[in-house]
Amino acid sequence: MAQLFHRGANNIAKASLVIAVLLAGVAFYAYTQLARSSYLTGRYLEKQQPVQFSHKHHVGDDGIDCRYCHTSVETSASAGIPPTQTCMNCHNQLYADQEYLEPVRASYRDNKPIKWERVHDLPGYAYFNHSIHVAKGVGCSTCHGQIDNMPAVYQENTLQMEWCLSCHRQPEDFIRPKSEIYNMQWKDSNLTAEQRLKLKADYKIRSKELLTSCSTCHR
Amino acid sequence: MSKLINQSSKLRMSKKLIYSLLIAAFCISAIGCRYDMQDQPRYKPFKESDFFSDEKAMRDLPENTVARGNLRENKAFYTGKKENADPNVQVETTMDEDGNTVVSSFPNAIEEFPIPVTKELLDRGEQRYKIFCMVCHGPVGAGDGMIVRRGYPKPSTYHNDRLRNAPVGHFYDVITNGWGKMNGYASQIPVADRWAIVAYIRALQISQDPNSKMTMDKSSTDSAGNTDNKDNADNAETEKDSDKAESSENKDADGGEK
């Protein structure tokens, strides 16, 4: 019986071992990149809303404070979606006959909430509380980005666990004075590293071990 | 012998079956992980509900529900009105500089703060004023906020005798229930914060009043706050008398005294 494989096949067999490992590596790398891509995380994707609401106009141009609408951000887990009445505080007079505000008026008339599309959707097994973050010096724009420049809001960050942990491991890289929480123009470089470390002590931010403990976020 | 072989191959077969079932179960459970755990069948704030007819997962309190310990017995604190307030009382009205009809007597409103006016309260009031009020009433309360510049009807300035002499309960009532074109802010501002804002409005009025002799120290040391009237009487008797006489002549309809 003749040999099925000629002698060169030995080299192919050896090379295939290396190639298999390389391929596995490339596949793993591709997977990690795909998992972080905006295709899977929704990062940078603008959501279409039932009303053409522009944060750029209301925050950037008009200078309305975040808390005018998101009233519960300092007191509860959810920052709060304003009731339609809050819209009508101004839009009972301003642009009151504009076609594109009809969904708002209809909502007010019929006492039915507007069905906003959720932009930041955390998985059900992750616990998040806005009030503790703003109370410990984490500003809005640290996580949400320059909302005052967003006509349609998009997710600035991946909201993946590694992103949460990047701050929970080193909050001193990201915190700011409590007076600047709602300042959209704040830059981390406004303070030196020592000043931020002092803030971390002043605000009694807990140790890295506690902040990265499983049950801090998965409770 | 052939029986034995048969048995062992059957055993092998069932082993294979068990393994493939296990792998299938693992794959299925992996799929389950992703969706069932990410979107758990429970309500989160502002979620939609297909159970309730209004499609809201967050339920409104039934009307007139009182949570334990939350009976609003302190009428002055929660309504800004006097204990014996008469809802049918007639109020005087006057025309302001923009031709709006405004009320100028406040028979039901309380004249003293129901909580101590402290530095902390004023600071809180300043912060809340800048969030909720400044957009229309402007940084010092002149009625020139950004929303007004965008076309919203101009609110009355705080810096006229009518509002300088208005009792604190009136400001509280306006924040709570609205006034004229302004909607009530009861759903946006908690009760204590409303009083803080009233205190800050008083501070703004004093800061812009050329005749005021009151210093900021006064308001921070006085516990149950003063209305402007009282302060005027206390502090500015000599200098203000002529002014006051004049203004009460001019704006008699204002009913400077309540």
pLDDT tens string A148-204: 999 999 999 999 999 999 999 999 999 999 999 999 999 989 999 999 999 999 999
**Integer CA distances (angstroms), B252 to B94, B236, B243, B246, in order:** 10, 20, 13, 10
Same domain, B35 and B138: no
Q: Residues B2-27: what's their mean pLDDT?
A: 76
Instruction: Say if B56 falls within a structural domain.
Output: no
Instruction: Say if A206 falls within a structural domain.
Output: yes
Report the residue from A64, A85, A92 with minimal CB separation from B135: A64
Instruction: Say if A50 falls within a structural domain.
Output: no
Instruction: Say if B71 falls within a structural domain.
Output: no
Which ipTM value was assigned to this complex?
0.87
Same domain, A109 and A123: no
| Residue found by looking up tokens 């491991």 in the block | A169
For an interface test with A, the pick among B188, B191, B193, B194 (most A C-beta atoms closer than 10 Å) comes out as B188
Same domain, B87 and B159: yes
pLDDT at residue A44 tops 50: yes
Instruction: Give the tokens for residue A171.
Output: 């909050």
| Residue found by looking up tokens 């758990």 in the block | B40
Confidence grade of residue B6 (pLDDT, cut at 50, 70, 90): low
Cα A182 to Cα A192: distance, rounded to the nearest angstrom? 20
pLDDT at residue A129 tops 90: yes
Other CB atoms within 10 Å distance of the CB of residue B129: 23
| Contact between A113 and B181 using a beta-carbon 8 Å cutoff | no
Name the maximum alpha-carbon separation found in chain A.
Answer: 95
Same domain, B177 and B223: yes
Which residues in chain A have Cβ-Cβ distances shorter than 8 Å to B175?
Answer: none
Same domain, B91 and B7: no
Q: Residues B146-160: what's their mean pLDDT?
A: 92
Query: Taking each helix axis from N to C terminus, what angle separates B228-235 and B237-250, rounded to the nearest 10 degrees?
Result: 130
Same domain, B21 and B94: no
Higher pLDDT, B16 or A102: A102
Q: Residues B198-226: what's their mean pLDDT?
A: 70
Question: For position B90, what pLDDT does the model report?
Answer: 79
Cα B86 to Cα B48: distance, rounded to the nearest angstrom? 43
pLDDT at residue B235 tops 60: no
**Integer CA distances (angstroms), A211 to A128, A131, A184, A207, in order:** 13, 16, 26, 6
Report the gap between the CA of A170 and the closest CA in chain B (Å): 27
Instruction: Say if A182 falls within a structural domain.
Output: yes
Q: Domain total for chain A?
A: 3
Question: For position A102, what pLDDT does the model report?
Answer: 94
Same domain, A125 and A206: yes
Instruction: Say if A49 falls within a structural domain.
Output: no
Q: Residues B157-179: what's their mean pLDDT?
A: 92
Instruction: Say if A151 falls within a structural domain.
Output: yes
Cα B144 to Cα B97: distance, rounded to the nearest angstrom? 14
Question: For position B95, what pLDDT does the model report?
Answer: 78
Question: For position A17, what pLDDT does the model report?
Answer: 94
Confidence grade of residue B213 (pLDDT, cut at 50, 70, 90): low
Which residues in chain B have Cβ-Cβ distances shorter than 8 Å to A92?
Answer: 181, 183
Task: List the one residue out of A177, A154, A157, A156 whose CA is nearest residue A165.
Answer: A157
Q: Residues B26-43: what's their mean pLDDT?
A: 73
| Residue found by looking up tokens 């991946």 in the block | A158
Report the gap between the CA of B150 and the closest CA in chain A (Å): 8
Task: List the one residue out of B239, B211, B255, B251 whose CA is nearest residue B96.
Answer: B251
| Residue found by looking up tokens 């208005």 in the block | B166
Closest A-chain CA to B183: A89
Q: Are B147 and B87 in contact (CB under 8 A)?
A: no
Same domain, B26 and B115: no
Same domain, A179 and A195: yes
pLDDT at residue A8 tops 70: yes
| Residue found by looking up tokens 């609110």 in the block | B155
Task: List the one residue out of A59, A85, A82, A55 whose CA is nearest residue A69.
Answer: A82
pLDDT at residue B1 tops 80: no
Q: Would you list which residues of chain B are within 8 Å, Cβ to Cβ, of chain A?
A: 37-40, 42, 44-46, 48, 54-56, 130-132, 135, 146-147, 150-153, 181-183, 185, 187-189
Instruction: Say if B80 falls within a structural domain.
Output: yes
Confidence grade of residue B41 (pLDDT, cut at 50, 70, 90): confident
Question: For position B253, what pLDDT does the model report?
Answer: 37
pLDDT in tens, B115-145: 999 999 999 999 999 999 999 999 999 999 9
Instruction: Say if A186 falls within a structural domain.
Output: yes
**Integer CA distances (angstroms), B41 to A31, A77, A98, B48, B49, in order:** 29, 19, 39, 12, 11
Helices (H), A73-160: 84-91, 102-110, 130-135, 140-144
Question: For position A6, what pLDDT does the model report?
Answer: 86
Domain that holds residue B172: 76-254
| Contact between A68 and B146 using a beta-carbon 8 Å cutoff | no
Same domain, A134 and A213: yes
Report the residue from B45, B54, B132 with minimal CB separation from A68: B132
Q: Domain total for chain B?
A: 2
Same domain, A208 and A109: no
Instruction: Give the tokens for residue B41.
Output: 């069948």
Question: For position B61, what pLDDT does the model report?
Answer: 86
| Contact between A115 and B150 using a beta-carbon 8 Å cutoff | no
Cα B27 to Cα B24: distance, rounded to the nearest angstrom? 5
pLDDT at residue B226 tops 60: no
Domain that holds residue A23: 9-36
